[in-house]
Structure 1
Amino acid sequence: MEGHHYNKPPSSDTDDNQSVGDVVPEMAPHVATYRLPRFSSRRLSSSSSMGDYDRLPRTKSMFPEPQQLTKDDLTSADALMADGVFTMNSTLSAVIENALGHPIPGLEVRFRNLELSAEVPQIKGGELEVPTLVNQVQQGLSNLCCSSNNMTVQKQILRGVSGVFRPGRITLVLGQPGSGKSSLMKVLGNRFHMDTNISLGGDISYNGKDRSELLDVLPRYVAYANQIDDHYPRMTVQETFEFAHRCCAGTEMEPWAMEAIKNCSPEHHAHAVEVLNAHHKFAPDLTVKKLGLDNCKDTVVGNAMLRGVSGGERKRVTTGEMMFGMKRLQLLDEISTGLDSAATYDIC
């Protein structure tokens, strides 16, 4: 790919990694214990080596020029998105970076030689039978007579998987059904249910920090959109997003976020606070518009027993529900199910 090189981002032990913006919200007073090291959020090329970083080419359509916002531009979701979602995001990024005094911190995930296996019951006979009283009794007696070593078999889910998810990039994970794509995402997002019969090996790091040190706080940084659409069926799309927003972000911006944007003049700080408060206030409405759910925002989500939105719209609700809470990494599991290529392109 294109080779415009720039210097390697600073390591986690530098002073640059001590910004307030990396503090976990609830643990702001305990900065030394709960902090993710910063990683430069500049877009990188996957073709570069571990020591070289290639900047991707930027086009006007992808990265439009930031706009000067007035008070009228902060009055509604429609006003914020008047020039399109790309312009809105570009303007928001420029305001935040100006207030922070440095680029917005990113999150780099590295995993090496990842191994995941499980002990599962062994099926004997090679045939699937309709459960009846007779064959269930026979199977129970057979299990009692067999030794415990013959009862289970080791099932390999992931074998020697290595890779890097770099900040500012969309990474597509491809594989055959049952190859472990969902398991990989759940492990990286700390959503994989670990039991006594599950064994996990290999190295996983987030901005150079080991996974074991971040297990308790990892869900605050990493979002995982399940491929199963599980919602409260009687809530509307708008209510679902508002509920998710209240649970993940609350009614007001966190104090740590307000503190992080003070590295600028009082005028710029006041403007940044207004912009952030507007985006926070209208976050559910912005999510509805980003995902193209305006026409069904007042329709119940529904499920198999209650008629609601369509399957493709419900899939978008699942994706949007996980977009709240200032997550730095979004793991989206089969979000294109039920969507056409145009809708998938617009969302991604």
Structure 2
Amino acid sequence: MRPVALAVTDGMLQFELSVAYEVFGSAPAGVTVPWYDLTVCGSHSVTFGRFRLEPDRGLDHLQDAGTVIVPGWADVDVDPPADLVDALRAAHHAGARVVSLCTGAFVLGAAGILDGKRATTHWAHTDVLAARYPQVQVDPDVLYVDNGSVLTSAGKAAALDLCLHLVRLDYGSSIANTTARRLVVPPHRSGGQAQFVTAPVPDQDGRPLTALFPWIIERLDQPLTVEDLARQARMSSRHLGRHFRAATGTTPLQWLLAQRIRHAQELLEKTDAGIDAIATATGMGTATTLRRHFNRTLGVPPDTYRRTFRTRVRSSPVHATARAQGRESD
């Protein structure tokens, strides 16, 4: 069990609290590994509109948790309670991974946990966070920031993105995707994606890239170029780039690489395929190329990732295809 403490007090946003409770409170159907052990911690009963929440434990329990999550703080012009700030600081000093969702970053800022670190919050409050805590490197243009032991997210939907990111770090891509399917949300948006993007000028159907995305996913084993994508979308490469940036916050090739890496993660978790076979199945070409991009993106080589997140899921159609292409030792 991975102990997670949800720090609550009056003045917190119930959406972000509910998101964390939904993700970490119970395992998705079909996931049999031991799930998180979630505890709600607070110094008193907390009122959210018509609802009252009774904490399981006091704030002193935060320092016993492996991960502490702070939901959004409703009024950023009001200082968070001193007992919460002190307990959060103690938990951080005790080695807990500290996570803020949306404006919960203001609580981390008050505790000094963000000093000298890059962080984000809801785009409407990034200027306030930067002005109040000048030692914090506030980035207004990302969904979430992962500093290892300290993580912060932008608002609302980005809080869910960060929670799924934590599941991916702890349990791997396959289980994170299962969790996302239960929640009926995209399995992964990278933290560096823009908080909001300008809507593209729609084609007649209003969705110029709707058919392109699944077409790409079905062909990840092929050496696709921007010209290939533009030709399939029936638009110029420049026009495609504008639509991609507007829809995803990134370029076609960056998005394509992210899909290849994600597919490689799933194959490493679920199959016995060798690195050469996975490189072929994901369109990376060679094991050297796969290792370079994988290490640069995730910070660990493929074989280390496999040892960390290996599941007992056996042969699948993708597994059989990759295995038929040959195996080699990692």
TM score, norm. by length of structure 1:
0.22
The structure with higher relative contact order (CA 8 Å, sep 6+) is: 1
Tell me which structure has the larger Cα radius of gyration. Answer: 1
Higher helix fraction (1 or 2): 2
TM score, norm. by length of structure 2:
0.23
